[in-house]
Amino acid sequence: MQIIHSEDHRLQDVPTEFYRGRWVEAFETPRRAELVLAAVQRAFPGPVLAPRRFGTAPLLAVHDAGFIDFLATIWERWEAETGPTPAYPNVWPPRRSRMIPTTRPGAELGRYAIDMSSPVLAGTWQAAQSAADCALTGAALVDAGAPAAFALCRPPGHHAGRDYFGGYCFLNNAAIAARAFRDAGAARVAVLDIDYHHGNGTQDIFYACADVLTVSLHADPVQDYPYYAGFADETGEGEGAGCNLNLPLPWGTGYAGWGDALSRALARIAAFAPQRLVVSLGVDAFEGDPISRFRLRGADFADIGRRIGGLGLPTLFVMEGGYAVEAIGDNVASVLGGHMAARG
C-alpha cells in the first residue's frame, strides 16, 4: 500500500471550535493525522511518500476560479484588517441577497463559508494545497499501476463544493483526484464516500456529470450535518441524472444496517463499471466517535475494506473524518488491510 502524506497539515491547527452553541476543544486536529500515520506505518512498513506539487490547474478543474483566488488571498486581507487571529465570517448573505463583491474580508468569508468549523489561518492555503497534492500524487501512482494508494490528506475535503468550504474542508481532495483520473484517460470514475457525514461537496461538484458516479453512505441529513444535502431523492441532474446515489441512515445504525447499504453501494458501482475508484475514507461511523451516532465496531472496518477490495478496481483512498482519536489509526489501517487482503 503506497502512503502519501505531507507535514504541511500541521499548518491548520486551532485549539477550539464552535460546536452546538459552545466553544469546545477542537475535534479536527493534527493529532488525528499523526495517529493514522503511525498506525498505517506499523501495518505497512515502508517509505511514506511526500506529495508532488501540481499547482492550481487540477484545483480549477473542480472548483470555481473566484473561490480558489479567495482561498489563496483571504488570509492576507484578513490579517491586514484584523490582525493574526483566526478568520471567521462576520455575516452570511441572507436569502435573495445581491451577491456583489464587498471590500471587507469578514463579509467575503461569509460568501464562501457554510459554517463556523473551518477558520482560515496563516497556513490554511498551504495546508489545503498540500492535501490536494497528496490526493493527486496517489492518483498518479494508481495510474502508474499501483493497485491501491492511501492519501493521508489533512485538511479533509468532502464538504468543500465548487465554490464553498466548511466542515473542516477547504479543497475537495477526493473530487480533485477523481477529475485527475478522468483527465488521465479513465472513461468512468466512481467516488464512494463512507464517512459518517454526507459528502455534500463531492455531490455538488459532480451532480451534473455522467462520467463520475458519486455514492455516499451517511447519517440522515434530517438529523445530522450537513443537513441540507444527502437525501435519497438527490440522484443527479442533466447528463448526470442517475449518477448520484445517497444512502442516508438513521442514528443508531449498526453494521448490519450499514453493511446492507454498503452492498447497495457496491452493486451500483459494479454496474457503473468504472476504471478507477476513489474512496472518501472517513471512519467516524465508529461507535466511539464523539460527534457521530452510528455503531460500527473496530472489527467491522477490516470487512469494509475487504468488501471494497472485492470490486477489483484500482483504488485511491483519501482520508476524511474520524474523531475518536485513540481508535482512528487502527480503524483506518483495518480498512486498508482488509482491502489489500481482498486484492491478494
Nearest to 235 by CA among 220, 263, 215, 260: 215
How does pLDDT run across 196-230, given as a tens digit for each residue?
999 999 999 999 999 999 999 999 999 999 999 99
Assess if residue 71 is contained within a domain: no
Assess if residue 127 is contained within a domain: yes
Name the average pLDDT for the chain.
97
How does pLDDT run across 91-133, given as a tens digit for each residue?
999 999 998 999 999 999 999 999 999 999 999 999 999 999 9
Inter-residue contact 228 to 221 (CB < 8 Å): yes
At position 220, the amino acid (one-letter code) is D
At position 261, the amino acid (one-letter code) is A
Assess if residue 112 is contained within a domain: no
- The neighbour count for residue 11, using CB atoms within 10 Å, is 19
Domain membership of residue 38 as a residue range: 2-63+121-343
Q: What is the largest CA-CA distance in the chain?
A: 57
Assess if residue 269 is contained within a domain: yes
Assess if residue 143 is contained within a domain: yes
Q: What DSSP string runs through 270-292?
A: HHH--SEEEEEE--TTBTT-TT-
Assess if residue 302 is contained within a domain: yes
Q: Mean pLDDT lowest for which of 9-23, 198-212, 278-292?
A: 9-23
Which CATH number characterizes residue 250's domain?
3.40.800.20
Active site residues: 159
- Does the pLDDT at position 157 exceed 90? yes
- Count CA atoms within 13 Å of residue 314 on its CB side: 19
Mean pLDDT (whole number) for 304-329: 98
Assess if residue 86 is contained within a domain: no
Mean pLDDT (whole number) for 238-254: 98
- Does the pLDDT at position 344 exceed 90? no
CA distance 8 to 21: 30
Give the global pTM: 0.98
- The neighbour count for residue 326, using CB atoms within 10 Å, is 8
CA distance 318 to 189: 14
CA distance 148 to 140: 11
Assess if residue 105 is contained within a domain: no
Inter-residue contact 319 to 156 (CB < 8 Å): yes
Q: What is residue 296's three-state secondary structure?
A: strand
Mean pLDDT (whole number) for 265-291: 98
Percent of the chain with pLDDT over 90: 98
How much is the pLDDT for 343?
85
120 in the Ramachandran plot: left (φ > 0), alpha (ψ -120 to 50) or beta? beta
Mean pLDDT (whole number) for 180-204: 98
How much is the pLDDT for 127?
98
Contacts of 123 by beta carbon, 8 Å cutoff, 6+ apart: 8, 10, 11, 12
- As a whole number of Å, the end-to-end CA separation of the chain is 12
Nearest to 262 by CA among 211, 305, 210: 305
Query: Which three cell numbers, joined as nine digits, stand for 339?
Result: 482491502
Could you give the number of structural domains in the chain? 1
Mean pLDDT (whole number) for 310-322: 98
